Structure formats: C-alpha cells, structure tokens
Structure 1
Amino acid sequence: MLARERVAVVDHAPTLAELTPGRTGNLSVRRGDRFAATPTGVPYDEFDPADVPVVSLDGEVVAGDMKPTSEVPMHTGIYRRLDAGAIVHTHSTWATTLAVLGEELPPVHYMITAVGRKVPVADYAPYGTDDLAELVVEEMEAADSKACILAHHGLVVTGDDLASAVENTFVVENLCRVYLQARQHGTPAELSEDQLATVEEKFRSYGQ
C-alpha cells in the first residue's frame, strides 16, 4: 500500500535533521485519498518503508508498523482542502524566529514566488490539534500560499511531491534568514504586485 510513497518518506526524512532540532519535524506524501507520513518520535534515519504509517484523509491509520506524526490533523486538513501532493513541517531556526515574533514573511525577494506572494502567519493553537489545522488552512487559502508560519511553533510547506516540498522549505527558511538579517540594517523594501507577477510568468518557462 503506497509503496513508492513510503519509500519516498524514508528517503527524504533525513533532510529534516538539517532543518529542525531533535525529532520535531515531520513530512508526508499523498496519493489519492491516503498519505504516507513520518512516524512519531523516531530518529529520521531509523525506520524502514514497512514502518511508515499510511493514513486516510479522515485520520485513520490503515497500514504501517509505527504510529504517525502527532501532526496528522494538520496534514489531513491541508490535503482535504488544498492542492498539495506533499507536506513538510519543521521548527527551522529562522522561520521559527518569525513564528515567535508572530510575523509573516513579506515579498522582499523574488524567490518567494516559489510558494506564493507572501508566507502568512497563523495564530497559535496547541500542536496536533484540529484548531491548529483549521488556522493553518485558513491562512494558506486566504494568501494563496504553499507555506505558512505557525505562531510560536514553526513552519509548514507544501509541494507537488516530496522533493519539491523539501526544496520549497529550504527556500522559505533561507528567505526568513535574509529578511531578518536585512532588518538589522534597515527596513527591507517589498516587491510590488506587478513585479511579482512578472517573476511568476518567467518561472512558468524556467528550467529544462
């Protein structure tokens, strides 16, 4: 069941160690009405595909030898309402700094268009709850963004697949760092809607 997706979780989970302390990050990848997710409380390189939980969009564990991440409500909430193929959740340093400040990431660099025109911030709610999931989905929908900062918590980022979700997470984390560092030297200027639209158009034909 979801064999390729479970392998993808095993392959990509170790990158969480580069983004988040301890075992506090999680990721998942979806196919149809089910998704494969990292198990809870397990080092990122110490589980196999058979261990990887498979979860329905109703939150029911339907396969796997281990319990899924405690953030299942956030994953199911995003998959039910947003166009996402994969999700990465971290407590990465620079995004979490903005989370502690309760601030969004504004469009100060054109690479923000990888996830939208800004990264909104969702109000605080306890981790692993339906309340948090609802707040996150509402902000992502309103901002038409693939990412959201979670106040006093961390960051969640989506993508078409796990590779793109991981890449988008690194992009957002780097932009959070640039933004916060720039603020130490002045007030960063924001790109206009027209400037962002031009980048979005150029990105449609970018790459090989």
Structure 2
Amino acid sequence: MLLEEQRRTVVETCLAMQKAGLVVGTAGNVSARDGDMVVISPSAVPYEEMRPEDVCVIDMDGTIIEGEYKPSSEMPLHLSVYRSTDARGITHNHAPASTAMGLVVDTVPTSHYYSAMFGGPVRVAPYAPFGSLDLARNVTDALKDRHAALMANHGAITTGASLEAAASLLPYLEYICEIELRAMSTGRQEKILSEDQIQAAVEAMTSYRKTPRA
C-alpha cells in the first residue's frame, strides 16, 4: 500500500482529535505531505471506522492516486497551504473554544505567551464556504509566517513540519482561545503581551527547541 505509515498516522490523528473533543462527527480533516504526494482523510467516513487503506493519496493537483473514497471536501485548502508554505502536516478541526473565538475577533489577543508557539498572534481568516477556493485563499493568507489560524464561523487549522507536529499544537491553540474567552467574559481590562514580548518569546522557544541534549 502506498505511503502506508503516513496513512496510518492520519487515522491515528483523527481518532486522537475525536477523543480530545476537537471535532464533531467527521467535521475535521488532516493530511500529510510526502514529496509531491499528499495523504488526506477521506470525506464523510466515521473516524472509528476509518482504516489506513481508506485514506486518500493525491498529487499536488488533487488527482487521486490511491484510495477507495473521495478526499476530504477541504482538499483545496490543504493543497493551497502546501503550495504556499513548507508545511508537511495539517490538521483542521472544529474545537469549541477556537471556533467561538473566531466569531468575535480578527486576531486572537496575545494574553498568553503560548501565542509564540504559532509564530505570533493567531489571525482569523474571513468566512468563505467550506471546500471553496475562497476559503483556501483566505486561510493561506492568514497562515503567513504562522503555524495556526482560525476560520471565521468555521473552525481552526494548525500546520507543522510533520502531521505529528501540527497535531501537537492543537491543545495549545484551544488553550489560548479558552483562557481568552474566559478573560473576555469578565468584562475587565486584560493584560495583553506586546509585540516585542511575543517576538522575544518566539525567539526563546525557537532556541529552546534547538538546544541539544547535554
């Protein structure tokens, strides 16, 4: 089976997202890029029934190379991000806090230094119908120099050097959205980190990840 390990990782990631309450039903999708091929979760297949052979293998033009089912309806979005960035893994979910945050802001306020994990303040892409080229363009623009974005009236996306790396960011994205929603609900003035403070955190986290073992 072509790209069996990557397809298995897609299944495992979908199940992990479901277990963590980050998706409702099959409303979410993930993918991984390997050279000029992409493995992407199939459309409308229940995660608990999904098998590695059900995961679609497509080329960068969206042509199906292998797989029994249709690729996710968000295939244009995934391909647009891969063409425009160095990402090798993408997750898209409809988690409650991040989806709610996308309804009320254009950029997630930097109320926690975890915002630095995404390369800076997380932007909200303007609404466009799911599966559309407009949505693909809006989200790709929102992801410029970032590893996450929200989608107005829709959900969220994370990217990484691998699917595992992209998925590892999901809990942190949901966390910063959750604490911001709680802070906003108090009606009190928030303590927001400055652009310089976030940039310092970005640089610190980059250095931290590159520190070799003693």
Which TM bucket (shorter chain)? Answer: over 0.9
How does 1:87-126 map onto structure 2 within 5 Å?
A: 87-126=90-129
Paired residue secondary structure (1:131): helix
In the TM superposition, residue 102 of structure 1 has moved relative to its aligned partner by 4.7
- Give the aligned residue type for 2:161: D
Q: Contact 1:102 / 1:152 at 8 angstroms: preserved in 2?
A: no
In the TM superposition, residue 104 of structure 1 has moved relative to its aligned partner by 2.1
Aligned partners of 1:160 and 1:8: how far apart in 2?
14
Aligned partners of 2:149 and 2:204: how far apart in 1?
24
Aligned equivalent of 1:203: 205
In the TM superposition, residue 161 of structure 1 has moved relative to its aligned partner by 1.1
Aligned equivalent of 1:44: 47
In the TM superposition, residue 193 of structure 1 has moved relative to its aligned partner by 2.5
Q: Contact 1:106 / 1:117 at 8 angstroms: preserved in 2?
A: no
Gaps of 5+ in 2: none
In the TM superposition, residue 137 of structure 1 has moved relative to its aligned partner by 0.7
* Worse-superposed segment, 47-56 or 68-77: 47-56
Cα distance per residue 1:20-42 (max 9 Å; x no partner): 11110110111111111111111
Paired residue secondary structure (1:118): coil
Aligned equivalent of 2:17: 16
In the TM superposition, residue 100 of structure 1 has moved relative to its aligned partner by 2.3
Aligned partners of 1:67 and 1:123: how far apart in 2?
27
Aligned partners of 1:25 and 1:16: how far apart in 2?
9
Aligned partners of 1:56 and 1:189: how far apart in 2?
46
- Give the aligned residue type for 1:200: V
Aligned partners of 1:5 and 1:58: how far apart in 2?
19
Aligned equivalent of 1:64: 67
Paired residue secondary structure (2:102): helix
Aligned equivalent of 2:176: 175
In the TM superposition, residue 19 of structure 1 has moved relative to its aligned partner by 0.4
In the TM superposition, residue 89 of structure 1 has moved relative to its aligned partner by 0.4
Is the aligned partner of 1:184 residue 2:185?
yes
Gaps of 5+ in 1: none
Paired residue secondary structure (1:178): helix
CA RMSD in angstroms, aligned pairs only: 1.4
Aligned partners of 2:47 and 2:189: how far apart in 1?
38
Aligned equivalent of 1:165: 166
When the two structures are superposed, what TM-score results if normalisation uses the length of structure 2? Answer: 0.91
In the TM superposition, residue 45 of structure 1 has moved relative to its aligned partner by 2.2
Q: Contact 1:16 / 1:26 at 8 angstroms: preserved in 2?
A: no
Aligned partners of 1:59 and 1:46: how far apart in 2?
24
Aligned equivalent of 1:146: 147
Q: Contact 1:108 / 1:190 at 8 angstroms: preserved in 2?
A: yes
In the TM superposition, residue 60 of structure 1 has moved relative to its aligned partner by 1.2
- Give the aligned residue type for 2:107: E
In the TM superposition, residue 206 of structure 1 has moved relative to its aligned partner by 2.6
Aligned partners of 1:55 and 1:13: how far apart in 2?
18
Aligned partners of 2:189 and 2:86: how far apart in 1?
34
Aligned equivalent of 2:196: 194
- Give the aligned residue type for 1:86: G
The runs of 4+ residues in structure 1 deviating greater than 4 Å are none
Aligned equivalent of 2:131: 128
